[in-house]
Amino acid sequence: MFRNNQLLQRSKKINDLGETPDLRPIAILADPYEAEAGILVPVLQKFGFNVFEARDGSVALDLTRKHNASLIVASEDMPFLSGAQLCERVREAHGDVIPFILISAKGVITDKSGRPAGITDYAQRPLNLEDFETRLNALLRAQRQGSVVREAAAVPPAVPALALAARSGPTPPPPPSQHIIADVKEGSMSVPPMETEPIDKLLTPKYIAEHDVKKESAALYKEAFVFVGTSVRCAQKKVRLPMEKAVELSRAIVASIASEKSLLMLATDRTSPFSFRQHSVNVAIVATRMARTLRLDDERQMRVCLAGLYHDIGSVRLPESLLQKRTGLTPEERAELQKRPVWGAELLAGYPGFEWLPEVVVQVYERENGSGYPYGLRGRTICDEARLIGVADVFVACIHRRPDRAAMTGYRALEIITADLDSFGERIAKTMIRSFSVYPLNELVVLNTGEVGKVIDINTENPLRPIVRVAYSVEGIELTAPRVVDLARNSQLWITSAITPDELPDGRR
């Protein structure tokens, strides 16, 4: 207890002495083992933290009440309050704001029992500092992306890439530069090709079986694909759009997303060609999932879905020469492309009961900071439906191959979105992260063992630890019998990086 009192006194020395406050983010290290704490403090300091120590759970809880912590690392076997009990108290007081790493003896947290509620990540004794740094680095990157909901001022500064051993795999990519963000914005000016291969070429029985897709959901996806194609032809011929069918289809998509993940698997698939019809369907599905995360009611979710299907219908009025052009837009061509939302609103106007639809579609390319088009709207003048579709449009475009560039990982696409919060808005960007996690569905990931797998489901409570189907061995050989691993229930495995289909062993996809 004397040692704990000393630590508390040390934690208050800045205020007591009237010195300049330490502006570094605070990490609370609650560990009864002084030797173990002695090796963890330098690691946390290396990551830019001001470390406050405690030797028992009650003192650690007192520190969380006195300090605005950005991270808590706690041992499970502390006196007075265990690490898991401390986490429960912290979650009661602060929700899931503060990342919490639990340290336990080897085997205490088994694969069968899983994590105690609220634990962000965990480490087991004997501590491997290299592994601990890898996990901490990934956790802080997730925090900077908004996966661990936190005010930006409390997020630790960026740290240099760690020099990891080969078995730890590559570190995550650096934050996206303004040049990359500008490239994505420029890419959003182009239009997907109108024509594509038949959808049946994608939705084969083999594909449906391998991608955890239910047959009825595959049929619904195909129906949406055909519907967009039919609507394009109607718009081109200047005949009435099938609005009643649009409502029926959108309600079916909303119900499917609420019950299972098949449509989300199809919308985030990275192997299909990037086409106008498929892009529109994928954007509608992704935006609807976000609307559900934002807890919009079923009627508004239907509206998001319907507007997503029609969000780029104005492209049918663009000249063929501009539809085929991918790069090097002239100012005149850019101005022409920026008329798409207005043309879309005009095509969708005049339908009784759908007066809301043109307003949503014309705002899809507007941005929070006024940098969008066609009118340069700002902030709350842009409706939530349009905001959701706008960010879904960018995400879907990023993760698919386009004629002028390769596909990005979902991890990278989310980095770009969260790095440009001025455009998309913090609330909508965080909704995207909560909907699809740090490693979205269908993301190809490298594990710390060197094996490669694909994300087939996410753990909403732990965005760093999805469910993965391991498909490639350490040697890069495709497995004949892939195994499924829930990383939230396996403390010995974690993700070191995400890769694109082009980076698979032997170029396989």
Instruction: Render pLDDT for 154-167 as a digit per residue (tens, 0 to 9).
Output: 333 332 222 222 23
Residue 331 placed within a domain: yes
Cis? peptide before 374, omega within 30° of 0:
yes
The last residue of a domain, from among 414, 436, 458: 436
467 pLDDT band, cuts 50/70/90, is very high
Residue 338 has, within 13 A of its CA and on its CB side, a CA count of 16
Same structural domain for residues 134 and 215?
no
Q: What is the mean pLDDT of residues 326-334?
A: 76
| Helix then strand then coil, % of the chain, to nearest 5 | 50, 10, 40
Same structural domain for residues 299 and 315?
yes
Q: Strands (DSSP E) along 402-494, which ranges? A: 444-447, 452-457, 467-472, 478-486
Residue indicated by tokens 């020395």: 13
Total domains in the fold of the chain: 3
Same structural domain for residues 38 and 138?
yes
Rounded CA-CA distance 58/389 in Å is: 47
Rounded CA-CA distance 467/458 in Å is: 6
CATH code at 44?
3.40.50.2300
Residue 423 placed within a domain: yes
Residue-level pLDDT at 391: 96
Compute the Cα dihedral for 503, 507, 508, 509 and give only its sign: positive
Same structural domain for residues 92 and 156?
yes
Least confident of 143-157, 194-208, 425-439: 143-157
Same structural domain for residues 186 and 276?
yes
Rounded CA-CA distance 258/432 in Å is: 16
- Per-residue pLDDT tens digits for 471-483: 998 888 888 889 9
Contact between 25 and 48 (Cβ < 8 Å): yes
The last residue of a domain, from among 106, 129, 163: 163
Same structural domain for residues 106 and 206?
no
> What's 47's DSSP letter?
T
Same structural domain for residues 280 and 327?
yes
> What's 405's DSSP letter?
B
Q: What is the pTM of this model?
A: 0.70
Residue 68 has, within 13 A of its CA and on its CB side, a CA count of 10
Rounded CA-CA distance 12/446 in Å is: 43
Residue 168 placed within a domain: no
Three-class SS of residue 487? helix
Tell me how crowded residue 162 is: count the other CB atoms within 10 A of its CB.
15
Helix locations, 188-319, DSSP H: 205-210, 215-237, 243-259, 262-267, 276-293, 298-310
CATH code at 200?
1.10.3210.10
Same structural domain for residues 206 and 120?
no
Same structural domain for residues 428 and 456?
no
More confident residue, 252 or 35: 252
Same structural domain for residues 257 and 384?
yes
Same structural domain for residues 159 and 11?
yes
- Residue 457 structural domain: 444-507
The last residue of a domain, from among 436, 460, 487: 436
